[in-house]
Amino acid sequence: MAFNTGDYKIDSRKPVKLDSWPTRYEGKITKEEAKEETSALIKRLQDLQELLYADGSQALLVVIQAMDAAGKDSTIKNIFGPINPQGCKVISFKTPNSTELAHDFLWRVHQNVPRKGIIGVFNRSHYEDILIGRVKELAPNDRIEKRYTHINSFEALLSSEGTRIVKFFLHISKDYQKEQLQERLDTPSKNWKFNPSDIPERLLWDDYQKAFELAFERCSCPEAPWYVVPAERKWFRNFLVAKVLVDTLESMNLKYPKITYDPKTINIP
């Protein structure tokens, strides 16, 4: 299947306007084609995860950000659920606790960066501190401004030390979010997913969109790119994320370690 993931990658040299990016895929790839290709990509991802683990010289950090109800948990379940749990670590960042607040904003993040050989998945991330922090004015503006530079330096450090970084924004419309939130209210088995605090957050939609745009413009680079994923068709969302991850891992020149013995000389009693 001919497909260019670069069409969904942020070019930091250009202004980012999210309302010009699609939230629903309307291209030539059919649902059936995408699902079939995604299954193949997941199998390839399983093999590459084992190779990453065996190679042991690099790590992969996957950052997933989105507005509420965009499908972060579903994406993680579909893409990373089939992977050997010994080689994949998922971290969900919540409101920082008192200990975390007593340190710099990257302290809790650095502790959860995947070690070499591991795929690390951040459900929300260090970007919360320039998203919520900016929208809700949780820190002085000059401190927020410095955090963009701190994040770029942090990601450059990780990259230079062998951690490849890829970042996904699951892009949905405000109307779609309303549908998803209403479904959580209408479906008893999904009631637990609804948080009344989602409503006041929703009222800040435009402010969050602007905060995301600024983060993408300032914090997307070849070593740690941002991808804007049209997330309203879940089958395409899964396909695109899986495709980017497979392409990324295949570009890391991973190799199985050299053995120090000749298998042909080994006799197992």
Whether residue 269 is contained in a domain is answered as no
Q: Write the DSSP string, 29-81.
A: --HHHHHHHHHHHHHHHHHHHHHHHHH-S-EEEEEEEESTTSSHHHHHHHHHT
19 DSSP 8-state letter: G
Domain contains 17: yes
Looking at the domain assignment, is residue 132 inside a domain? yes
Residue 123: CB atoms within 10 Å:
18
pLDDT of residue 188: 93
Opening angle at CA 130, ends 128 and 133, nearest 5: 80
Evaluate whether 78 touches 132 at the Cβ level (below 8 Å): no
pTM of the model: 0.95
Around 223, how many Cα atoms within 13 Å sit in the side-chain half-sphere? 14
DSSP alpha helix (H) spans, the chain: 31-55, 72-80, 98-101, 107-110, 128-135, 141-160, 174-186, 198-202, 205-218, 234-250
Structural domain for 118, as ranges? 5-252
- Are 166 and 60 a contacting pair, CB within 8 Å? yes
Domain count, the chain: 1
Reading the block at residue 155, the tokens are: 């990601």
Q: Please give the backbone phi and psi of residue 61, each rounded to the nearest 5 degrees, phi first.
A: -110, 125
Domain annotation covers residue 268:
no
Q: What separation in angstroms does the CA of 220 have from each of 168, 187, 205, 217, 230?
A: 11, 38, 22, 6, 18
> 257 in a domain, yes or no?
no
Name 61's bridge partners. Answer: 120, 165
How much is the pLDDT for 39?
A: 98
- Local structure of residue 261 (DSSP, 8 states): S
Helix (H) / strand (E) containing 254: none
Give 239-260 pLDDT, tens digit per residue: 999 999 999 999 999 999 999 9
Q: Give domain status of residue 179, yes or no.
A: yes
What pLDDT, on the 0 to 100 scale, is given for residue 162?
97
Q: Any residues with CB less than 8 A from the CB of 74 and at least 6 apart, and which?
A: 234
- Domain holding 52: CATH number? 3.40.50.300
- Per-residue burial over 24-42, b if 16 or more Cβ lie within 10 Å, else e, is ebeeebeeeebeebbeebb
Which residue ranges of the chain lie beneath pLDDT 50?
A: none
Q: Is residue 262 one of the residues assigned to a domain? A: no
Joined together, the tokens standing for residue 127 give: 């970007």
Instruction: Classify each residue of 203-229 as buried b or exposed e, where b means 16 or more C-beta atoms within 10 Å of its C-beta.
Output: eeeeebbebbbbbbbbbbeeebbbbbb
pLDDT of res. 1: 61
Give the bridge partners for 164, in sequence order: 60
| Residue 263 within a domain | no
